[in-house]
Structure 1
Amino acid sequence: MAPQNNELEMFTFDQIKDEFIGEIGTEKRIQYEQELQLVVVGEMIRKVRLERKMTQTDLGKLIGVQRAQISKLENNTTNVTMETILKVFGALKAKVNFNVELMNTKIQSAG
């Protein structure tokens, strides 16, 4: 329905992402969602590190990397492995939970 007079048309965030990034399942949308998740992980690392009153250098020493690597992790400027993420959160004494969601997939058990 087109807006009339001075009415503003409202859109959900999902509608905006569908329009400008791509619909769910498209390569561009998948890449966007993955990059967003890495940003969130970086922010969580920074937040927990600061709560523990640690510097990037302190955290780097605990897992055997330079301060610059911790900075890159926190600022999402590097590819990161699950092993590194687990090492970082382990050094921060933070519990890590991963939620795996299968979309449009039917799982059958053997038997």
Structure 2
Amino acid sequence: MKRYSLSEAEDKLIGIKGTPARDNYEFELKLELIGDMIQAARKERNLTQEQLGQLVGVKKAQISRLENNATNVTIDTILKVFNALEAKVNFKVELLNRQVKVA
């Protein structure tokens, strides 16, 4: 049986980087990681979902959805949650090597 590296398996099963399927997969994975980070920070601060919701001004169900499935969430909401958790947030933006034509 042939062995595959993780990147080879992802290319084969999900799609090569730059394809819509792969981009969507990586985007959803990043959202899942954000939910995990929120949950870990909340637990480290010894807060319940309900308590965090009160700090942010949302209901417990919204915190639960954010932790378990961070789709359809705005950056503003994520920043409010991390602000309530007194956590520092850093965004990294990388420009791709694409030429942009300006008319």
Unmatched tracts of structure 1, length 5 or more: 1-7
The one-letter amino acid of 2:84's match is A
CA contact (8 A) 2:53 2:60 kept: yes
* Bigger mean CA offset, 93-102 vs 31-40: 93-102
How far apart are residue 77 of structure 1 and its match?
Answer: 5.5
The amino acid of 1:53's aligned partner reads: N
Percent same amino acid at aligned positions? Answer: 53
Equivalent residue number for residue 82 of structure 1? 75
Shift of 1:102: 2.7
| Structure-1-length-normalised TM-score | 0.84
* Correspondence for 2:55 among 56, 62, 66: 62
How far is the alpha carbon of 1:106 from its aligned partner? 5.2
Give 1 or 2: higher helix fraction.
Answer: 2
TM-score, normalised via structure 2 length: 0.91
Greater RCO structure (CA 8 Å; 6+ sep): 2
Report Cα offsets for 1:37-75 as digits up to 9, x if no partner: 000000000000000000000000011100000000000
Q: Distance in 2 between matches of 1:105 and 1:32?
A: 22
Root-mean-square deviation (Å): 1.4
2: CA distance, partners of 1:37 / 1:44: 11
Instruction: Indicate yes or no: 2:5 matched with 1:12.
Output: yes
**Number of residue equivalences:** 100
Cα distance between partner residues in 2 of 1:105 and 1:56: 42
**Unpaired segments of 5 or more residues in structure 2?**
none
